[in-house]
Structure 1
């Protein structure tokens, strides 16, 4: 009993912080979601409207379009980051000249603020002064203008996210690879397994928890990205890069529709939880069911 009391006492500060900065804001946003509220309008008071904000979401073409673009962005970004991160982690496992310097340079994007990343990429892609349009024009004769090319604008947001967050995936998977025991790999080599078989049957199952945790983190970040994309494209051209986070920002701040913005935030949180749960079931629960009892 005393040990349990001491344990709860040690956890009390963390639980209090989570309650104040996590649960209380969520409950407030949930409360606002059931109201019509524009504090800067003619009637600055909250007006209860039930589930009207949520019903409005079902018929909001801009919201549905932003969901489609966000899911596509998250898929390409997260999959590319996991693949590149694993390949780079395997590279860092080997000895080669300048490995420490290259590893340091590789992790530098992680210390740069997202809004700075978006600003730098905006400068690099500006047609008149950017290095990327200059090289594309010089080498391939291609005129890059993300203000009018929706496909290229979407591709650049994905490339920018990959450049910024692949080092995080690399470090996570590198830590997982370093901690693996050598005996299973030696046994697989003795049994005559090739590199692909060793990867598929030995390496991948052992680092699957690290991959799953990394995918969860990157998926949640990708679904709520705002500042990088806002600085690079502003959500354009049209709505080609108006992802969910940016869509909510435009509802809450320029339009000051706090009730509808809160309802949108709740739905986005729900969609994120559902996607993470489905991913967990696909990668973990099904594997556990196949194990012999």
Structure 2
């Protein structure tokens, strides 16, 4: 009994911080989502409007379009980061000249704030001074993300891959380092090739770490705001108006706090559903077989 009290006592600071910065803000946003509230209007009072904000977003073409491009962005970014991150993790598991230097350079984007990342890519993609349009001109490609919706979308995906692939790499390196050597040695003795070893030994053993990494990146990608807002501002048109950017523009320029809160709650719900679907399709069947 005494040990349980001590355990709760030691957990109490963490629970307090979680409640203050996690649970309380969520409850407040949920409450605001059932109101019409513009704090800068002539009448700054919150007006309870039941589920009017949620009914509105179901028929909001701009929100639905932003949700569509967000899901496309998340798919291409997260899948690319996982594939590239695994390849780099395998490469960094081997010894080669300059390994420590390359690992350091590879990790540098992680320490940069998203707004800085957006600023760097803004400079690199500006047609008049950017190095990327200059290099692409040598191949006859005229890159202008302010005019081409496809180019703007692709550049935001590449920027996200550049920024967050190091996180995936570090997570998978940790998973690969912890794997026992015996199953791999036995598979090689039995004559298994690299593809068979990957599908039947490596992938099942790193699956929990891989899924956890995908969850982290999926949740981060769903709420991308800073770097995209800095790079494209959500344009051209609505090509890169991801839900995070859409919420920002609803809450700050339009000061529509109630509707913005409703969108935030729905996006959180969709993120949880997507993660749950991934879990049930990839982890739960394996647990049942075990």
**1:187 equivalent in structure 2:** 186
- Separation in structure 1 between the aligned mates of residue 102 and residue 31 of structure 2, nearest angstrom: 49
**1:57 equivalent in structure 2:** 57
**1:82 equivalent in structure 2:** 82
**2:37 equivalent in structure 1:** 37
User: What secondary structure does 2:283 align onto?
Assistant: helix
Cα deviation, residue 53, structure 1: 0.3
Cα deviation, residue 289, structure 1: 2.5
- Separation in structure 1 between the aligned mates of residue 47 and residue 178 of structure 2, nearest angstrom: 56
State the TM-score, normalizing by the size of structure 1. 0.98
1:37-186 aligned at under 5 Å gives the runs 37-138=37-138, 140-186=139-185
- Count of residue correspondences: 290
Cα deviation, residue 286, structure 1: 1.7
**1:199 equivalent in structure 2:** 198
- Separation in structure 2 between the aligned mates of residue 113 and residue 24 of structure 1, nearest angstrom: 26
- Separation in structure 1 between the aligned mates of residue 226 and residue 183 of structure 2, nearest angstrom: 44
Cα deviation, residue 143, structure 1: 1.1
The one-character-per-residue Cα deviations of 1:137-176 (angstroms, maximum 9, x if unpaired) are 12x1111110110001000000000000000100000011
- Separation in structure 2 between the aligned mates of residue 280 and residue 50 of structure 1, nearest angstrom: 33
- Separation in structure 2 between the aligned mates of residue 172 and residue 23 of structure 1, nearest angstrom: 27
Cα deviation, residue 221, structure 1: 0.3
User: What secondary structure does 1:141 align onto?
Assistant: coil
User: What secondary structure does 1:180 align onto?
Assistant: coil
- Separation in structure 1 between the aligned mates of residue 236 and residue 35 of structure 2, nearest angstrom: 32
User: What secondary structure does 2:142 align onto?
Assistant: coil
- Separation in structure 2 between the aligned mates of residue 23 and residue 94 of structure 1, nearest angstrom: 44
Matched, 1:220 2:219: yes
- Separation in structure 2 between the aligned mates of residue 287 and residue 152 of structure 1, nearest angstrom: 40
The one-character-per-residue Cα deviations of 1:22-77 (angstroms, maximum 9, x if unpaired) are 11111111111111000111211011100000000100001000110000000000
- Separation in structure 1 between the aligned mates of residue 111 and residue 12 of structure 2, nearest angstrom: 31
Cα deviation, residue 120, structure 1: 0.5
- Separation in structure 2 between the aligned mates of residue 65 and residue 114 of structure 1, nearest angstrom: 24
The one-character-per-residue Cα deviations of 1:238-287 (angstroms, maximum 9, x if unpaired) are 00000010000000000000000011100010001000100101110122
The CA RMSD measured in Å over matched residues stands at 0.7
**Unpaired segments ≥5 residues, structure 1:** none
Cα deviation, residue 209, structure 1: 0.7
1:255-270 aligned at under 5 Å gives the runs 255-270=254-269
- Separation in structure 1 between the aligned mates of residue 56 and residue 272 of structure 2, nearest angstrom: 21
- Separation in structure 2 between the aligned mates of residue 171 and residue 27 of structure 1, nearest angstrom: 34
- Separation in structure 2 between the aligned mates of residue 179 and residue 26 of structure 1, nearest angstrom: 36
State the TM-score, normalizing by the size of structure 2. 0.99
**Unpaired segments ≥5 residues, structure 2:** none
